[in-house]
Amino acid sequence: MRKLFTSITLAAAVLAGCSENHQKNLQKLEGFIQQDTSMIHNLRVICKEYPARLSGSRENAGAQEYIYNEFNKIGAEASLMEVPVPNWYGGESKVVVKYGREAVEVPSVNLGLAEGTGGKVIEERVVEITSRKELDEKDVKGKIVFFNDPMKSHSDYGRAGWQRRQGPGLAAEKGAKGVVIRSLTQFMDEHPHTGSTTYSPNAPKIPAIAISTIEAEKLSKTIAENRRVKLAISSTAYTRPEQATGNNVIGEIKGSLHPENVIMVTAHLDSWHIAEGAHDDGSGVVILMNILRAFNEAGIQPYNTIRVMPYQDEEVGLQGIHTYAEKKEGSGENHLYHIEIDSGIGNPRGVGLYGDSTKIASLNTFISQYVDLGYDTPFIVRAGETYTRFPTATKFGAIAGWFIPDNSTDYFLYHHASNDNFEVLDQQQLKDCSQAMTQLVYLLDRYHK
Ligand SMILES: [Zn+2]
């Protein structure tokens, strides 16, 4: 459990020698964040007025404008950065299980970037596939593939993800006419969970639809008991031919000593077409906004530039973050840190760090300061991991960080599902995560005097 106020004295002791009163500043930030109501208000607006914020959508554009105006109100420097984004329409899906005289429709959702059927129904025999090996071995030509390789735990997401990410492309290469997948969550629930998929360049883009884990279990049982189960599927999803654009929204406070040094924190602005996107990633966006607000309210001037950026198109293609890195090349700025918030809300744990090991080793004193603030497993140093999420690290040598909330027991109840809404988010946990991130940014900033 995180400790409060009392432990700050330790951090202050480590920083002793500076004339500034760090204990007081950290307390001011905490005091503001714990009493503030604007962050909760912002999250409510983003979730309720701009739900289903797929990049390129009207809702996404509305949220951009709202956040841009809020940055101005806070007194931060606000700017927009145009980004080319996918122009995908999520549409509606329908999955009907047919056997004997039964025809049962089950709740479903299109996978991200999936092509639909133009509303036409495809009805074919279904083949259940529970592993990559089984897909290689079975004949699926002309059939609908039902991927049913259960995700067993929170950390099994990466492994089980193959069926959603590569499944439709692989099945199409083998001549399948459509794909239905078991939702990626370790929980048995009635919500279909979406997420992006990919196709093979050598095969048609067949429809790809998720059903809930409960319905997947039922379907598997039905297939085991009936030799001739068919699925009738249809979908209105498609990618519009014209290029769409969106904007990364940048808010910053210039550094008083080193304006060229950038401490950047990001979260993605887009959300799935079926969700308000409270955990994923509205919460991250409002935490970013609150970092700037807290510094200003507490009257703390950063030494280095603090830049926050709600960015475009994380869910489908990471365009927003890559466009940022391309546009910042040759800017003369020195990106010190890039910390991402995209794991939902829970009790705050800390930050995982990625980057050059010598650079990370040089952070030892700073790390102990953050530990002293009471985050119980605050740093997971995983130097040398891949940087696909952080072109700022590969191009500019920034140390990358990932904010880690303690929510492995419930995150996948809401992940990419229609119940990821404002009401399911614990407001005290949101405040505690905001405090953890803001104090982290403060300590990093003061570390580079
Ligand atoms: Zn996300």
390 Cα: distance to centroid of ligand 1 (angstroms)? 14
Q: Does domain 89-239 have CATH number 3.10.20.740?
A: no
Q: What is the pLDDT of residue 302?
A: 98
> In 405-417, which positions are buried (b, 16+ CB within 10 angstroms) versus exposed (e)?
bbbeeebbbbbbb
Q: What is the pLDDT of residue 16?
A: 45
Residue 96 CA: distances (Å) to CA of 20, 290, 369, 448: 66, 46, 57, 60
pLDDT digits (tens, 9 = 90+) for 5-58: 334 444 444 454 456 788 899 999 999 999 999 999 999 999 999 999 999 999
In this predicted structure, the answer to whether residue 407 has a pLDDT above a threshold of 70 is yes
Distance CA 267, CA 420 (A): 16
Q: What is the pLDDT of residue 394?
A: 86
What percentage of the chain's residues is helix, strand, coil (to nearest 5)?
35, 25, 35
pLDDT digits (tens, 9 = 90+) for 222-262: 999 988 999 999 999 999 999 999 999 999 999 999 999 99
The predicted model scores a pTM of: 0.93
231 Cα: distance to centroid of ligand 1 (angstroms)? 31
268 Cα: distance to centroid of ligand 1 (angstroms)? 7
Decide: helix, strand or coil at residue 155.
helix
Q: According to CATH, what is the number of the domain 5-87+242-447?
A: 3.40.630.10
By the CB criterion, residues less than 5 angstroms from ion ligand 1 are 280-281, 342
Q: Which helix (H) or strand (E) holds 51?
A: none
Residues forming a β-bridge with 373 = none
List the chain domain ranges: 5-87+242-447, 89-239
Q: Which helix (H) or strand (E) holds 28?
A: helix 22-35
What is the DSSP secondary structure assignment for residue 279, as one 8-state letter? Answer: I
Please check whether residue 342 is in contact with residue 349, taking contact to mean a CB–CB distance below 8 angstroms.
no
281 Cα: distance to centroid of ligand 1 (angstroms)? 5
Q: What is the pLDDT of residue 383?
A: 54
What is the DSSP secondary structure assignment for residue 373, as one 8-state letter? Answer: T
In this predicted structure, the answer to whether residue 337 has a pLDDT above a threshold of 50 is yes
294 Cα: distance to centroid of ligand 1 (angstroms)? 24
Q: What is the pLDDT of residue 370?
A: 85
413 Cα: distance to centroid of ligand 1 (angstroms)? 14
